[in-house]
Amino acid sequence: MQFIFFNDAVKALSLATLIFTASIAHATEQEKITTLDDQHSVAVTIYNENLALIKDQRTIDLNSGFNLLAFRGVSATMRPETSLLRNINNTRGLSILEQNFDFDLLTPQKLLEKYVGKEINIATMNPITGEEIIEQATVLSTNQGVVVKIGNRIETNPRGRYIFDKVPENLRDQPTLVIQLNSQSSKPQDVELSYLTSGLSWKADYVAELNADDTKLDLMGWVTLNNKSGTTYKDAKLQLVAGDVNVVKHDFRQRRDNRPMAAMKSVIAEDSMSEESLFEYHLYSLNRLTTLSNNQTKQVSLLTAAQVPVNKEFLLQGAPYYYQSSYGNIGQKLKVGVYVEFKNKEKSGLGLPLPKGIVRVYKKDKSGNAQFIGEDKIDHTPKNEDVRLKLGDAFDITADKKQSNFEKRNAYGKYNHAFESAYEIKLKNAKSEAVTVVVREPVPGDWKMLEQSHPFKKVAAGTAEWHIEVPAESSTTLNYNVLVRY
């Protein structure tokens, strides 16, 4: 049998079918081939860190005794050391002896690479006479082009058709797991091949819309699936695991990837996904079969919730560095962050474990058009926990901050240093309504508030917090004096 490779790109495409058929013919008569046509069920469980568990069930014919089984249609990025083939009805029906994962795929370039140092035939046509001439050539190199020896001459990138006598071993048209095994029966058997693979991933994305007065939001969650594993999973039972599953990183390597890219209670709809606990994680199951095509991105509805109560907060966040030395002016027109927060509770309209992802928030303008107003990441959030999003910085609310006094005090006892410093923070509000600004100061060391113009709360060992009312189109000044000791 001969295999022909056209150097000309257009003619090469015309031989794609021939090369594909030849690669299948590569399988010896001893080899039992199973393809996706034999598959009657496939389950896909996808984890967060580019990891998935595949359970591929097929009905296959084997000989009694020794078999060489070519399991085609597996993931191109599978971890072969994790694969397990078993007889579903008889766990002792199969005995695995050896397995080889052939992921070096048949391409014109790969075919040439396998023939380095070997002989091929090159066919050219005389443009005047139309006579075809076939010459024998030895492939010397395929690095950045083709170098061959024809007779006593060396040529680079010779024109013509490259003719090969066979497809080399371990070069296949699609990833194939070749398994040597013993079978107790020659009857058709239901088997399952399970394995871990990269190339499959998922993420959660959320879309939220605030109401007119920023007191409630509608939330919709989506699951985005990406399949770059090199194969298609037709009518798959899909499950997603949310949580940080530990994976030994140095064992988890993708072998290669040179393929091209491509007012209601919260509910998980019956035709979307259901949720359950799994060990210390959460498992989401799609309540219908779905096809994950290779090089495809798919979105599936995760949840919807409406009229979720929201708290909006304006926050001026301080820093600890200016409590230990003299600074004077600290900043003018400092940014005041805008946050929204809601509770992941049933009484708030949620109460579901939320996978980590990005929440994108919108709000309608006066014309009724939804406008994007910010986004933030959330981590895996259990039920009954708070979700806090920073959407940006306020345009109409700013702050001027300065250190109005700084003095070094005598340290005594267990302290080596003591500093007393005073601060003035002027909060300015250009909005047409009054706002409350949270001023949060991380105060270092052992500290004591000596004076303050507004009452504060010690929310943590090293944090002082004020809630300052700022009238519409006006300003409010916060003054405080603090003693810090080290």
pLDDT average, residue stretch 182-200: 94
- Split at pLDDT 50, 70, 90, the class of 253 is very low
Could you count the other beta carbons within 10 Å of the beta carbon of residue 205? 17
* Beta strands 474-485; 418-429: pairing state: antiparallel
Dist. CA 2–CA 167, nearest whole Å: 9
| pLDDT reading at 3 higher than 70 | no
CA atoms of 185 and 60, how far apart (whole Å): 11
Of 96-110, 156-170, 234-248, 284-298, where does the model show the most confidence? 284-298
State mean pLDDT over 272-276.
74
pLDDT over threshold 50, residue 266? no
Q: Is the pLDDT of residue 277 over 70?
A: yes
pLDDT greater at residue 175 or residue 320: 320
Lowest-pLDDT choice from 42-46, 74-78, 348-352: 348-352
Residues 37, 35: Cα–Cα separation, whole Å: 5
Residue 244 banded pLDDT, cuts 50, 70, 90: confident
Q: In the chain, what are the domain boundaries?
A: 201-309, 311-343+386-485
Name the strand (E) or helix (H) holding 66: strand 65-72
Distance CA 38, CA 44 (A): 17
The band of 14, judged by pLDDT with boundaries at 50, 70 and 90, is: very low
Q: pLDDT band for position 41 (50/70/90)?
A: very high
pTM above 0.75, yes or no: no
> What is the pLDDT averaged over residues 409-428?
94
- With bands split at pLDDT 50, 70 and 90, how would you rate the model's confidence at 261? very low
The model's confidence at residue 64, banded by pLDDT at 50, 70 and 90, is very high
CA distances from 220 to 41, 139, 303, 426, 429 (A): 31, 59, 6, 39, 33
Least confident of 45-49, 364-368, 375-379, 468-472: 45-49
Lowest mean pLDDT among 80-89, 99-108, 153-162: 99-108
61 phi-psi bin (left φ>0, alpha ψ -120 to 50, beta other):
beta
Q: Whole-angstrom Cα distance, residue 338 to residue 137?
A: 72
Using CB atoms within 10 A of its CB, is residue 153 exposed (0-12), middle (13-18) or buried (19+)? exposed
Q: For the ranges 27-36, 81-90, 309-318, which has the lowest average pLDDT?
A: 27-36
CA distances from 170 to 26, 116, 221, 469 (A): 9, 16, 44, 74
* 338 close to 437: Cβ distance less than 8 angstroms: no
Q: Classify residue 414 as left (phi > 0), alpha (psi -120 to 50) or beta.
A: alpha
Q: 3-state class of 74 per DSSP? A: coil
Position 441 pLDDT exceeds 70: yes
Owner of token pair 């959407």:
391
pLDDT(263) > 80? no
Name the more confident of 418 and 255: 418
Please report, in angstroms and rounded to a whole number, the separation of the first and last CA atoms in the chain.
86
Q: How far apart are CA 321 and CA 319, in angstroms?
A: 6
Look at residue 140 in the predicted model and tell me its pLDDT: 94
Nearest residue to 482 (alpha-carbon basis) of 440, 449, 446, 445:
449
Whether the per-residue pLDDT at 328 is higher than 70: the answer is: yes
- The stretch 365-387 carries a mean pLDDT of 94
Mean of per-residue pLDDT scores for the chain: 87
* Residues 192, 57: Cα–Cα separation, whole Å: 4
CA distance 469 to 32: 78
Distance CA 189, CA 191 (A): 6
Band of residue 2 on the pLDDT scale cut at 50, 70, 90: low
Q: Is residue 10's pLDDT more than 80?
A: no
pLDDT of residue 4: 54
Q: Which two tokens stand for residue 78?
A: 């599978």
Residue 20: the pLDDT is 41
pLDDT of residue 7: 53
Of the pLDDT bands very low, low, confident and very high (cuts 50, 70, 90), residue 27 is: very low
- Name the β-bridge partners of 331: 401
Q: Mean per-residue pLDDT for 136-161?
A: 93
Q: Which residue has the higher pLDDT, 97 or 167?
A: 97
What dotted CATH number matches 311-343+386-485? 2.60.40
Which of 362, 318, 340 lies closest to 465, judged by CA?
A: 318
Of 124-138, 251-265, 353-367, which range is least confident?
A: 251-265
Q: What percentage of the chain carries pLDDT values higher than 90?
A: 72
CA distance 32 to 25: 12
Dihedral (Cα; 263, 269, 272, 274), 10-degree rounding: 110
Q: Is the pLDDT of residue 21 over 90?
A: no
Output the furthest CA–CA distance in the chain (Å, rounded).
107
Closest to 23 (Cα-Cα) out of 107, 88, 149: 107
Query: What SS3 class is residue 345?
Result: coil
Instruction: Assess contact for 112 and 141: CB atoms under 8 A.
Output: no
Distance CA 329, CA 420 (A): 16
Burial 74-111 (b: 16+ CB within 10 A, else e): bbbbbbbeebebbbeeeeebbeeeebebbbbbbebeeb
Asked whether the predicted pLDDT for residue 5 surpasses 90, the reply is no
The SS3 assignment for 23 reads helix
Task: Check residues 455 and 3 and name the one with the higher pLDDT.
Answer: 455
If you average pLDDT over residues 267-289, what whole number do you get? Answer: 74
Dig out the tokens for 280 from the structure: 């210390």
